[in-house]
Amino acid sequence: MASRVTPCRPFYNTEVDYAGPLTLKTFCGRGSKTYKGYFVIFVCFSTSAILLEVATDYSTEGFIAAYKRFTGRRGLCSTITSDCGTNLIGADSKLKKLFKASSKEWAHIAAILANDELTWKFNPPSAPHFGGKWEAGVKSVKYYLRRVIGDALLTYEEMTTLLIQIKTILNSRPLSVLSDDPSDASALTPGHFLVGTALTTVPEPSLENLPQNRLSRFQLLRQMTESFWQR
């Protein structure tokens, strides 16, 4: 496929999928109510970079909100590929209306910008094997996320913070075979295409072996991140 090998900026050609559900709570402390949430995974076709967004419901409006947060960080896409989920099909029609309305109101800008149109491609029905790239990303996140979180309930803010740290870990994975030179320990990662170098985090003392009842909410997230990295 040409979009996988053509040089372009990250997320210019993107794959998207929903995964979950996640159990979120309204606030920290006793008496908080729980509700169901999801995460939306965006995968770059050419660099295999991953971006994760939390969605509070499985609806077109929920996806549109996640998509706007995504494009606010990474810019407009030329193409998006997904499966035939009902919420994604509805999002396709709504996005087309938004682009048409925008081109009417901002005709002078549309004449300059070449990316005003978004092409949304859907896989054939009942063919999940067509989306192997994003299904692999969903597996990498979902399989370990369930084991890291366990019975803990996180708020929307805490879940967003945890998923961003998980995204950093996944975007630090090597994309190619390491060099045979023992002095060359660097590896090409999706982070190199995003920021020009490997994504790094501030070194902090390990909390992996501490019991959870001794940790603050922020330290609990840090412990979950460490556990995800170890797994």
Q: What is the pLDDT of residue 106?
A: 47
Instruction: Tell me the three state secondary structure of residue 26.
Output: coil
Judged on CB neighbours under 10 Å (0-12, 13-18, 19+), 63 is buried
Domain that holds residue 46: 2-230
- In order of 62, 103, 106, 107, the CA distances from 100 in angstroms are 21, 5, 10, 10
Q: 126-148: per-residue pLDDT in tens? A: 666 666 676 777 777 777 788 88
Contact 155, 24 (CB under 8 A): yes
Q: Where are the beta strands (DSSP E) in 115-204?
A: 119-122, 154-155
Q: What is the pLDDT of residue 200?
A: 67
Residues paired with 25 in a beta bridge: 34, 155
Count of domains observed in the chain: 1
Q: 37-87: per-residue pLDDT in tens? A: 888 889 988 888 889 898 888 787 888 888 888 888 888 888 888 877 777
Per-residue tokens: 204: 């902090």
Q: What is the CATH number of the domain that holds 37?
A: 3.30.420.10
Closest CA to 54 of 171, 163, 168, 138: 163
CA atoms of 4 and 79, how far apart (whole Å): 12
- Cβ neighbours of residue 125 under 8 Å, at least 6 residues apart? 84
pTM of the model: 0.76
Q: 182-218: per-residue pLDDT in tens? A: 777 678 888 888 888 777 665 677 777 777 777 777 7
Q: What is the pLDDT of residue 179?
A: 74
Q: What is the pLDDT of residue 173?
A: 82
- Cβ neighbours of residue 228 under 8 Å, at least 6 residues apart? 144, 145, 148, 165, 166, 169
